[in-house]
Amino acid sequence: MVRGITWSPDGPALSLAADDGDARLPLGPGLWLRFRVLSGPGVPARYCLGYSAVHGPTEARHHPCPTGQAAERGYQCGACFARDDFRFMHDFHRSGIAPPGLRAYLGQPHWLYVATFADGTVKVGTASQRSKWARLAEQGAIVARYVAHARDGSVVRLLEDAVSEGLGLTQFVRGTAKYAALLQPRPEADLDAANGAAADAVREFLDGVALDGFEAVSEQFEPHAFTGAVSRPGRRIAYPRPLDSGEHGMRLDSMVGSHGLVAVDGAESVFLADLAALKGHKIELGSYTTDIPALQESLF
C-alpha cells in the first residue's frame, strides 16, 4: 500500500507499507515506474494509512491500521485517527493538550518559512528542526525562505497565526492548485521576486510582534537538483489516466513535491503526473504500461 511521497537529501521516494513492514522505493531521473492499482468490488476507495505514536523530538513510530479499514476522514479510519498523536499538533499552541512524546517533539526548535508555488501563490508555514528541509521539499515549493527561528512549536505556530492574520498569507494550498500551477509555471525569476518581497514583509511584520522565544532570520531554501525541469516554463500535458485505478508505466524525468514530469511508452510528449493520487491505494509492480487515449494522441 502506498503511504505517499517522502523527500530526503538523497531525493524523493515512494513510501510503502508491505506485509513484512514499511519500505521506501527511491525515485530518481530515468526510473521506470510500472504498476497497476488494485481496485474493484470489495476494494475501498482508499485504505486507512494507520496512525503514529510520537516518543520524542526525533522518534515517531508508524503503526498500520490494525483492521485494514477504509479511510473515513482524510487518510485514516476513525479508530486510527483517535490513536494518532499528531492529531493534537496543530492546536497545541492554543489548547496546551498533547501526549508526552508530542510535547517533546514540539519542544524542539522550529522554523517559520514563506513558500511560493508555480503560479505565484505564497503561503506561510512551519517546520520542525528535524524536518526543516524535507517539509518544504514535500510541500512542492518552487522558491522558499526561512524567516524566523523559534524556540519551540508553540511559539512558531503563534507566529504563523499572527502573520496570516496580519498580512493575509494563507497557511494552506491545495494539491490540486499546485498541480494546475505546474501545467503553466511562471518564470522562476518572477517567483523568486514574489517570494523575496513576501519574506521581507514578514520579517518587517515580526519586528512588531510582542512575543518572546524567536528571532528573525534570512535563509534561502535550496531545492533538490531533481526538481529543476518540472518547475521551468514549458509545454506539458496532464497525465492522461487517473492514477487511482488501472495500469501505468512512466519514466520519471523530474519531480517537485509529489508532482513529476513523466514520459510514457510510445509518446514523444512529457506529462505532468501527481503521484499523491496513489496515497491510500494498493499497487502491484510489474510490466505494465499506460494506455494513451486517442484524444490525447492528437495533441502530440
Residues of the chain falling short of pLDDT 50: 297-300
Please give the mean pLDDT across all residues of the chain: 92
Res 297: pLDDT:
43
CA–CA separation, 238 and 79 (whole Å): 36
One-letter amino acid of 93: H
State the pTM of this model.
0.90
Quick one: which H or E segment has residue 248? Answer: strand 246-256
Residues of the chain with pLDDT > 70, as a percent, come to 98
Bridge-based pairing of strands 246-256 and 259-263 is antiparallel
Res 26: pLDDT:
95
Q: List the chain domain ranges.
A: 111-223
Res 300: pLDDT:
43
Res 106: pLDDT:
87
| pLDDT one-digit tens code per residue, 34-80 | 999 998 787 888 999 999 999 888 888 999 999 988 999 889 999 99
